[in-house]
Amino acid sequence: MRETLLELDGLTKAYPGVVANSDVSFQIGKGEVHALLGENGAGKSTLVKTIYGLVKPDSGTMTLEGKPFAPAEPRSARASGIAMVFQHFSLFDALDVAENIALGMENPPAMGDLADRIREVSETYGLPLDPARIVGDLSAGERQRVEIIRCLLQDPKLLIMDEPTSVLTPQEVEILFETLRLLSSEGTAILYISHKLEEIRALCESATILRLGKVVGTCDPRETSAREMAEMMVGSTLHTPEREAKDPGEVVLSIKSLSAPAPHRFGTALKDISIDVRAGEVLGIGGVAGNGQDELVAALSGEMRTGAGMVSLDGQSIGHLMPNARRALGLCAAPEERNGHAAAPDMSLTENATLTGTVRMGLTKNGFVQWHKARSFAEDVIKAFDVRTPGPENAARSLSGGNLQKFVIGREIMQKPRVFVVNQPTWGVDASAAAAIRQALLDLAADGAAVVVISQDLDELMEISDRFAALNGGALSAPRPAQGLTVEEIGLMLGGAHDMEVAHVEA
Amino acid sequence: MLRLEKRPQPSQVWTYTTPLLAVAITMVVGGILFAALGKDPLVAIRTIFWDPMFGQFASYSLPQLLVKAGPLMLIAIGLSFGFRAGVWNIGAEGQYIIGAICGAAVGLAFYPMEARWLIFPLMIIAGFAGGMLWALIPGFLRVRFGTNEILVSLMLVYVAEQLLASMSLGLLRNPEGMGFPGSRNLSQITSSQNLELISGTGMHWGVVFAFIAVIFAYIALSRHMFGFNVRLAGQSPKAAAFSGVNPKRLVLICMGLSGALAGAAGLFEVAGPSGQVSIDFNVGYGFTAIIVAFLGRLHPVGILLAALLMALTYIGGEIAQLTLGLPGAAIQLFQGMLLFFLLAVDVLTNYRIVLAKSEAA
């Protein structure tokens, strides 16, 4: 039994209308790798924010190394030896690595000394990083290293990592795990938040599972199956998407030598992408974030125009057409970001139904919106896709992430597209909603549509794709049948380990 | 301790009550200001808000309400589309001047022809076109070169003012005017005059157009795809691009529309209440209309009411200057306060104030 580092006792935090944490108690031992599991909205973020001093609990206490611990702000949490790597990086693109790290420190040393320390720590832990590089030029994996090194420079007793692998290739994940194991062997405890069960089984020695703000179980992930843990998370048995074998139909969407310059300074240029997608087929496109996913979706949806012949639908060139002209021909799309891109957060669901539905659903007459039709279209989507909301007059921002995503996907699928392009269909969506969305995508393909799913969740892509291709630096790999692909092969398609190396284990 | 907390949905109640609250706070702070100037604050407030409508000179000042509210309304309606879409035309004053010059030039070019059925409509068209083209300059520069339309449209106001001075001293000067600056008086020429349609009401063609603009704007914003796209582009530019809105075309349409309405307002003013192209023809309607647009929540009916309120403070301010000897600057300060407080209390629409408990650990 390890010596206890941090003990949580009865932590409760309520927000208006929702109890984020209810009587949460558990312990983390010194050097322990402890997983915090739960669906979106289970209260994981609130809990770690409490430990990091960003949220003040309504009741309950924390004890760190036997002393009461109640950080009023992150600074005092850091001073007590708590460090955190956030899911969304807080880095300045225009500054270099050392400057970014100095900005996060209380008393940064002189720049030259800091650069030396960064090199030293990065070599010890197998996180090679040049302190002089500009952050805007770094890959997502490298940016994460900046955040980790920033934490390690403080010699933390507890390192909190929030969904750290969502931006990494499988090889990069393995290297990160080596680093974390090394840290653990040196006595640093790690609180690891994720919903990727296989990763937790590979890395963690104990797990606390949260559901709706409460602790619903603890387990040893090394001895518990992923399915058992998933069912504890969801609280019910999981439904795996069904698919029937089918013959591929004719080519519907054809992309020929699609190239486009980066739309903004930190965007990615598309490089000579060619691929055909057939009716009834699901093409999965994997890739680490920032390798051209957003740009590819924009080029297909019509937000970004390219050479006319670069994209064609049923043999007709559409690369030069605006989004509504493409919708009229049967191409619908759903971009990654729900709030502010796929949907307007301050507008009602009826208005959001109008956002893309005017052409195919006939919601306008002589340029005038027929609100009664728009409203009933929104109601149909809400009903068919089990969107939890009091009604279509509610603002999109009042919906939870999973519900809004169901609405956005449902809005496009209800339009019966010939081709449906979707980016990150289940990002930040709870497991049951994700299963429903994946099933809807498979059903759409079964009805004869060509479906292009872009995702960073490889398990998801393996589950629903017929063929798999990878985006790396704006170029698309040759597609391969998804059946029988191994994780290693996928990792190599994604660009391998981006020059990372395994931690030098020094005794 | 007070703390702001974001509301899950914008408050309907506060959307409508914040303008009233802003007016109330303005009266209080304005009253303090007037008291500091040595005037009785209650009398001053009454003189500004009450006397124009019900005082002893109401028969003179009441028609002025529409005369002043008309151009404010017309300009603010045009601006509201751009402001909703995130297109910031700050130069309506310049477009107003150019519309007046163009319209007046057409009228003067036909002098002394008497075909009003031909000349007056042509003048209106020229007013619309002049304002529109002037506004399209910053619009085009933004679309083509990415310049900031706020700066360009504002700077073009000063260009327009120089042009106005040049016109009233040169090209459009009244040849029979004994060398005085200023054009012939259009309001005295039958073919080009824009007089009261119903005597004693202040209702002239510009006011009619303003009311028509309010109705059209209301329909466009609530029912038409154009209004929907304008609102969408303002709230979520990326969602608008995804929906299929062409952002460049939207910038040009919004700039052109606001310029056209400002230009028309200028034409109706120069052919009616003002009468002639002169160096000091413009009195700041183009800038005040920005306040009107925001005071009216960028909503057509709100703008209608806000324009009337602003007109009231103009007229009441004049009366206060005459009868109480309040300085003109104090009145302008008073009007500025209105926008200031509106923006300040606006926060209540999206946030609520909560009493935070003391910071116990």
A340 contacts B226? CB cut-off 8 A: no
Closest CA to B267 of B121, B103, B125, B107: B103
CB B77 within 8 A of CB B303: yes
Q: Who contacts A242 (Cβ-Cβ below 8 Å, separation ≥6)?
A: A439, A442
ipTM at complex level: 0.82
Strand order, beta sheet including A18-29: A18-29, A4-15, A59-64, A67-68
Closest CA to B346 of B86, B21, B9: B21
B239 contacts A343? CB cut-off 8 A: yes
Task: Give the pLDDT score at A239.
Answer: 58
Identify the architecture of domain A4-234 in CATH: 3-Layer(aba) Sandwich (3.40)
B7 to chain A, any CB pair closer than 8 A? The answer is: no
How far apart CA B222 and CA A370 sit, in angstroms, is 10
CB A241 within 8 A of CB A442: yes
B3 to chain A, any CB pair closer than 8 A? The answer is: no
B352 to chain A, any CB pair closer than 8 A? The answer is: no
**Residue A370 one-letter amino acid:** Q
Identify the architecture of domain A251-344+394-506 in CATH: 3-Layer(aba) Sandwich (3.40)
Q: Is the pLDDT of residue A340 over 50?
A: yes
Task: Give the pLDDT score at B233.
Answer: 93
Q: Strand pairing of A480-481 and A316-317?
A: unpaired
pLDDT in tens, A369-416: 999 999 999 999 999 998 888 889 998 988 877 889 999 999 999 999
> What single-letter DSSP state applies at residue A310?
G
A4-234 and A251-344+394-506 have identical folds: yes
A302 contacts B244? CB cut-off 8 A: yes
A398 contacts B9? CB cut-off 8 A: yes
In which band, very low, low, confident or very high, does the pLDDT at B327 lie, cut at 50, 70 and 90? confident
Per DSSP, the three-state class of A294 is helix
pLDDT in tens, A55-93: 888 899 999 988 899 888 888 888 889 999 887 778 888
| DSSP secondary structure, A260-292, as one string | E--SSTT---EEEEEEEEETT-EEEEE--TTSS
CB B37 within 8 A of CB B326: yes
Residue A291 CB-density burial (10 A; 0-12 exposed, 13-18 middle, 19+ buried): buried
Owner of token pair 């529309």? B257
Main-chain dihedrals φ then ψ at residue A474, nearest 5 degrees: 85, 0
Mean per-residue pLDDT for B161-179? 91
Closest CA to A98 of A86, A81, A110: A110
CB B210 within 8 A of CB B74: yes
A394 contacts B232? CB cut-off 8 A: no
A358 contacts B225? CB cut-off 8 A: yes
Domain boundaries, given as residue ranges, for chain A: 4-234, 251-344+394-506
How far apart CA B294 and CA B340 sit, in angstroms, is 10
In which band, very low, low, confident or very high, does the pLDDT at B355 lie, cut at 50, 70 and 90? confident
B235 vs chain A: nearest CA distance in angstroms?
A: 7
Residues of A in contact with B236 (CB under 8 A): 340-341, 344-346
Closest CA to A133 of A123, A118, A121: A118
B223 contacts A322? CB cut-off 8 A: no
Closest CA to B206 of B73, B115, B317, B106: B73
Q: Which of A72, A343, A398 sits opposite B361 (nearest CB)?
A: A72
Domain boundaries, given as residue ranges, for chain B: 40-325
Residues of A in contact with B243 (CB under 8 A): 323-324, 355-356
Average pLDDT over chain A, rounded to an integer: 86
Closest chain A residue to the Cα of B226, Cα to Cα = A367
pLDDT in tens, A136-150: 777 777 888 888 888
Strand order, beta sheet including A316-317: A270-278, A251-260, A311-313, A316-317
In which band, very low, low, confident or very high, does the pLDDT at A499 lie, cut at 50, 70 and 90? very low
Mean per-residue pLDDT for A260-286? 89
pLDDT cut 90: percent of chain B above it: 55
Main-chain dihedrals φ then ψ at residue A42, nearest 5 degrees: -80, -15
Q: Is the pLDDT of residue B212 over 90?
A: yes
Residues of A in contact with B9 (CB under 8 A): 394-395, 397-398
CB B78 within 8 A of CB B303: no
Q: Who contacts A364 (Cβ-Cβ below 8 Å, separation ≥6)?
A: A358, A370, B225
In which band, very low, low, confident or very high, does the pLDDT at A344 lie, cut at 50, 70 and 90? very high
In which band, very low, low, confident or very high, does the pLDDT at A281 lie, cut at 50, 70 and 90? very high
A305 to chain B, any CB pair closer than 8 A? The answer is: no
Q: Which of B10, B236, B361 sits opposite A344 (nearest CB)?
A: B236
- Helices B205-223 and B225-235, packing angle to 10 deg: 70
Helix (H) or strand (E) holding A202: helix A197-203
Main-chain dihedrals φ then ψ at residue A253, nearest 5 degrees: -105, 125
The top-level CATH class assigned to B40-325 is mainly alpha
| DSSP secondary structure, A101-149, as one string | HHHT-SS---HHHHHHHHHHHHHHTT----TTSBGGGS-HHHHHHHHHH
Closest CA to A334 of A398, A411, A260: A411
Task: Give the pLDDT score at A237.
Answer: 61
**Residue B73 one-letter amino acid:** M
A2-16, A174-188, B8-22, B101-115: which has the minimum mean pLDDT? B8-22
A335 to chain B, any CB pair closer than 8 A? The answer is: yes
pLDDT in tens, A301-325: 999 999 989 999 999 999 999 999 9
Task: Give the pLDDT score at A297.
Answer: 94
Pairwise pLDDT comparison (A42 vs A324), residue with the higher score: A324
Q: Which of A70, A341, A369 sits opposite B239 (nearest CB)?
A: A341
Task: Give the pLDDT score at A473.
Answer: 82
Q: Which of A56, A345, A367 sits opposite B236 (nearest CB)?
A: A345
How far apart CA A295 and CA A451 sit, in angstroms, is 17
Closest CA to B323 of B61, B32, B25: B61
**Residue A490 one-letter amino acid:** I
Closest CA to A450 of A216, A281, A298: A281
Per DSSP, the three-state class of A174 is helix
Mean per-residue pLDDT for B139-160? 95
Model pTM score: 0.77
Task: Give the pLDDT score at A42.
Answer: 77
**DSSP alpha helix (H) spans, A385-506:** 401-413, 431-446, 458-464, 487-493
Task: Give the pLDDT score at A504.
Answer: 47
Tokens linked to A317? 């060139």
B190 to chain A, any CB pair closer than 8 A? The answer is: no
> What single-letter DSSP state applies at residue A479?
P
